[in-house]
Amino acid sequence: MNDVFAGKHLVLGLSGGVACYKSAMLCRLLVQAGATVQVVMTEAAEQFMTAVTMQALSGRAVYTSQWDVREPNNMPHINLSRDADAILIAPCSADFIARLVQGRSDELLSLLCLARPLERVPLLLAPAMNREMWAHPATQRNLAQVQADGALVLGVGNGSQACGETGDGRMLEPEEIMEELAAHFTAKRLQGQHLLVTAGPTFEAIDPVRGITNLSSGKMGFAIARAAREAGAQVTLVAGPVHLPTPRGVTRIDVQSARQMQAAVQSQLAEASIFIATAAVADWRPAEAADRKIKKDGSGEVPAMAFVENPDILAAVAGSEPARSGKLYCVGFAAESHDLLKHASAKRLRKGVPLLVGNIGPATFGKDYNALLLIDAGGSKELPHASKDVLARQLVEEIAQRLAPGHL
């Protein structure tokens, strides 16, 4: 996510709550991603997390008082809010939400929120509280009002809570908040688009315990889904058998085989305006899968096995009426072992897609980094070696440019 957060300056506010322990990791992730983080803590927050810890993680002195003498003009509420690209309160307690609604300004954190320039310094809230507190009508009224006043509420997680109860109200995990922040800072280049993307391998059963698959991890497809959602698209992700968390705000459909993936794609196609076939779909499958495990008998003979070709999902979508009429923009992926430009160019023509993205499969399967070669009717363009998140954002931008009015 370095490309999103590089050069950003964030005020990270901590209000009282046990979820302050997550804020320590959030601060670390932000700094690692290239942001500078100024931590401001309420008196209640100091009961759960020390300023020393947050100073060590942020690399900056922590502010806790509106009377802090380090500011030459003695106005930290003005200075801190003016310098920020955004103010994030995480955790944001029920009490602090009420303070914001009331315009309270008797401590530094709520004071700098009140003093921030509304038109250029956004306020983002990551609530954290007991499930009954979250569901209480007073909290829900306050949440509605604070959003009407211009704050962005990131929502809460569901699960076990420190009090021993289970339900809504947990603060989002640091990685989830990072995704929400990345989406906030990303230009909405795909606003109004519905992107359908496939990711990962397929698994073609031989018997109940064996099958044919490949080394695709799904990381590139998941990164594209995340980047497209950040860019404002509605995203549906059809995922083969991978163990990756679903990106925030993305609808996920899990499948196993190529035929299941084809059925899932066809069921979603009517709503899509962009289709990206990132999945490494198995070319063949056993003609028949055994009902029971095929056991060796010690004879040394290998059982005969017939194969049939799997459906060509990309070619079918590219040949559909929405694609032929220009209502659906199709992007294919080619994972090659050699002669990338030659083979990927041929695949683009064979599949009939306007854009084909090539990469060297053995060099990227399972890894967090990749390099891409974009091929269209005008030629080819390299996206140099970078993280898959960075490449996904670059690819989304390339697609947005091609969909822009007047693009040739």
Active-site residue list: 163
Residue 324, both tokens: 């032929």
Q: How many Å apart are CA 306 and CA 198, to the nearest integer?
A: 27
Burial-class residue 165 by CB neighbours within 10 Å (0-12, 13-18, 19+).
exposed
CB-CB contact of 125 with 152 (8 Å):
yes
Find out whether 232 and 188 touch, Cβ atoms under 8 Å.
yes
Per DSSP, the residues of 104-143 read --SSHHHHHHHHS-TTTS-EEEEE---HHHHHSHHHHHHH
Instruction: Name which of 31, 56, 15, 9 is nearest 174 in CA terms.
Output: 31
Tell me the H-state helices in 149-195.
174-185
Q: 276 φ, ψ to 5°?
A: -120, 115
First and final C-alpha spacing in the chain = 31
Q: Which two tokens stand for residue 380?
A: 């080819």
- Of the candidates 355, 397, 353, 360, the residue with the CA atom closest to the CA atom of residue 375: 355
- Name the H helices within 6-159: 20-32, 51-58, 76-83, 94-102, 108-115, 131-135, 137-148
- The count of other CB atoms within 10 Å of the CB of residue 408 is 5
Cβ burial, residue 44 (10 Å; 0-12/13-18/19+): middle
Angstrom CA distances, 58 to 28, 55, 78, stand at: 7, 5, 20
Write the CB contacts of 166 (distance below 8 Å, at least 6 apart in sequence): 131, 158, 159, 160
Residues 28/31/35/37 CA torsion (nearest 10 deg): 60
Residues sharing a CB contact under 8 Å with residue 32, sequence separation 6 or more, in sequence order: none
Sheet containing 379-387, strands listed edge to edge, beginning at the edge strand earlier in sequence: 251-254, 234-239, 194-199, 274-277, 329-336, 355-360, 369-376, 379-387
